[in-house]
Structure 1
Amino acid sequence: MSTTLTVKGQVTIPKPIRDAMGLTPGTSIDFAVNRSGEVVLHKADSGKATRKAKPQPDRFEAARGKADVAWKTQDLMALLRG
């Protein structure tokens, strides 16, 4: 399998390799070069493998219910169109 290096030095790890190694978005990876000059990648041992990841908060929750002005539809449409 081959992939292309971007101008930013990034590569996409092919899906069969990601699946075989159990790599998911956010997984830390260690890179090394062995004595033969081959690049080897390992799933980094973060020490948190037994912990479950916290669910991410809803990014819209902070804005929900913040409007202080009760607009009437006609007034709002007049403001937006006018």
Structure 2
Amino acid sequence: MKITSKGQVTIPQAVRERARLLPHSEVSFEVLPNGDVLLRAVKSAASPVRRAFERARGSANATGFKDMDSDAFMQWLRGPQP
């Protein structure tokens, strides 16, 4: 694998999948005392929108949503308001 003239490198798909790196994931680099470079996924606080999508993921066909109109679903998705 080569570094481009812009300093870019492609992370192989198998590595991205195993490390759960998605497009736009943030990563950090650390140079170890022996000169090896460690790439880490940055665990950032999820935005309110991301948290809402995570709560809703896989629930579109759930029976609890069958009789919900779009306004009720949006209220559920946004969660309790302060």
Same fold (TM over 0.5): yes
Question: Which SS does the other structure have where 1:19 is aligned?
Answer: helix
Structure 1 residues 29 and 52 mapped into 2: Cα distance closer, same or farther (>3 Å)?
same
- Residue 49 of structure 1 and its aligned partner are, at CA, apart by 7.6
TM-score normalized with structure 1 length: 0.55
Task: Name whichever structure is richer in helix by fraction.
Answer: 2
Q: Secondary structure at the match of 2:43?
A: coil
Larger Rg: 1
Could you say if the C-alpha distance between residues 28 and 22 of structure 1 is closer, same or farther in structure 2, counting changes exceeding 3 Å?
A: same
Quote the residue 1:63 is aligned against.
Answer: none
Unaligned runs of 5+ in 1: 56-82
Give the superposition deviation at 1:29.
0.4
Give % identity: 32
Change (3 A) 1:48 1:4: same
Aligned match of 2:39 = 41
Task: State how far apart, in whole Å, the 2-side matches of 1:50 and 1:20 are.
Answer: 26
1:50–1:32: structure 2 CA closer, same or farther, 3 Å change rule?
Answer: farther
Name segments (4+ residues, structure 1) moved above 2 Å: none
User: Does residue 1:9 correspond to 2:24, yes or no?
Assistant: no
What is the alpha-carbon distance in structure 2 between the residues aligned to residue 51 and residue 30 of structure 1?
24
How big is the alpha-carbon RMSD for the aligned residues of Structure 1 and Structure 2? 2.6
- TM-score normalized with structure 2 length: 0.55
Quick one: which of 44, 50, 53 aligns to 1:52?
50
Offset of residue 51 of structure 1:
5.7
